[in-house]
Structure 1
Amino acid sequence: MDYVIRPVRADEWQQAKELRLTALQDPAAPVAFLETYENCLERTDEFWRERTTGASEEGAGGVRQFIAEAPDGSWAGTVSVLIERPDGGVVFGEGASVHQAHMVGVFVRPEARGRGLIEELFRAGMEWAWSLGEPLIERVRLYVHEDNPRAAAAYRRIGFTPTGETVPMPGDPTSRELEFAVPRP
């Protein structure tokens, strides 16, 4: 594989913004992401700077964004990992009863799909989560929309299995998000 999988750097906010806006224009975006392209277009440069800094190695440590960088420096994909603690807030789903990581913002550009990038992005994100000190992360989870079988199949290939927990899709209580998880090895 010719791609480098690495954490985003704080000064790369413009690339992070561009990749997110591209992801939000993907045909699967309505069932894959909890925000819209139009909403993100309204965000200020300061928002993108803070978001990228917070998810970088220079950030506070509770979030890490990983990217797949091509030899020409372009970004082909991304995933972010949020650390959830029982005494902290939760981004989506039920409150954390264990120390866990939550994978979000998964995207690989269409022209880069089928090359193993999603597996490599997840490997990097999960290795980072498992490497954190006490208290140890007990599991890594994610949510996938019930109408997104392509993503569900990719997550199963990586080793995620359905937990049985479902939550309503924000803005559409008739649709469900399915929780998948991997326990600590």
Structure 2
Amino acid sequence: MGRLTTVAGVRIRATTEDDWQRVRELRLEMLRDTPHAYLETLESALGHDEPEWRARARRGRSATGTVLVAVDGGGRWVGTMGGWLPGPSTAPLLVGVYVAPSHRGPGAGVADALLDGIEAWAAGHGPVLRLMVHEDNQRAQAFYARRGFRLTGNSGPYPLDPRQREVEMARELPPAAGRAEP
């Protein structure tokens, strides 16, 4: 995905290996802000070395996924979302969603712009985009519902605390050029 100008001059683009330090900074911010939203602890993330962060930054243009970031007019990274193909016959999965508090809400448009980019990528890989969200993350669930995602009835234990649950939501995607309908 190329650059896309959105509300208030925020640009959306895919990450590259050269972004590894910014990827690290944003990931640590995400984990501090909403620790139950991710499958990693802050302590674990702080232990990663440079090669790990470079590998994560390369995911922006991976054969099995993408990672998009939102960059404001001052160069600050204010959001991110990823898309991942868990397997050859598995629907695309939305992962790693974060928008800085200063850029949250429908009026800001950052989450919508990021999701537009992920949906465009995902439409080339399958007819449905899925996600798993912590059962207590009502803010995220409300955003996804506003964007047409619905609870599927599937759930599973939250990997960092199996006493808690993650629920699955999914949305049908419009056909993309080059993708045949089933």
**TM-score normalised to structure 1 length:** 0.85
Mapped contact 1:99–1:138 kept (Cα < 8 A): no
Partner of 2:112: 119
Query: Mind listing any 5+ residue stretches in structure 2 that lack a counterpart?
Result: 1-6, 175-182
The 2-side partners of 1:171 and 1:79 are apart by 20
Question: Which of 140, 165, 179 is the equivalent residue of 1:176?
Answer: 165
Partner of 2:78: 76
Three-state SS of the structure 1 residue aligned to 2:163 is strand
Q: Which runs of 4+ in 1 moved over 4 A?
A: none
Question: Which of 39, 53, 58 is the equivalent residue of 1:34?
Answer: 39
- Matched residue pairs, number? 165
The 2-side partners of 1:56 and 1:33 are apart by 18
Pairwise CA distance, 1:184 = 2.6
Three-state SS of the structure 1 residue aligned to 2:136 is coil
Pairwise CA distance, 1:10 = 2.0
Partner of 2:3: none
Query: Mind listing any 5+ residue stretches in structure 1 that lack a counterpart?
Result: 87-97
Identity %: 38
Mapped contact 2:39–2:160 kept (Cα < 8 A): no
Q: Deviations over 1:30-68 (max 9, x none)?
A: x20111111100100111011111x122x3x11200011
Q: Deviations over 1:113-141 (max 9, x none)?
A: 1212111101101101213xxxx412101
Give the alignment of 1:98-117 within 5 angstroms: 98-114=89-105, 115-117=108-110
Query: Relative to structure 2, which stretch is displaced further, 170-179 or 42-51?
Result: 170-179
CA RMSD of aligned residues (A): 1.3
Give the alignment of 1:41-52 within 5 angstroms: 41-52=46-57
The 1-side partners of 2:169 and 2:79 are apart by 21
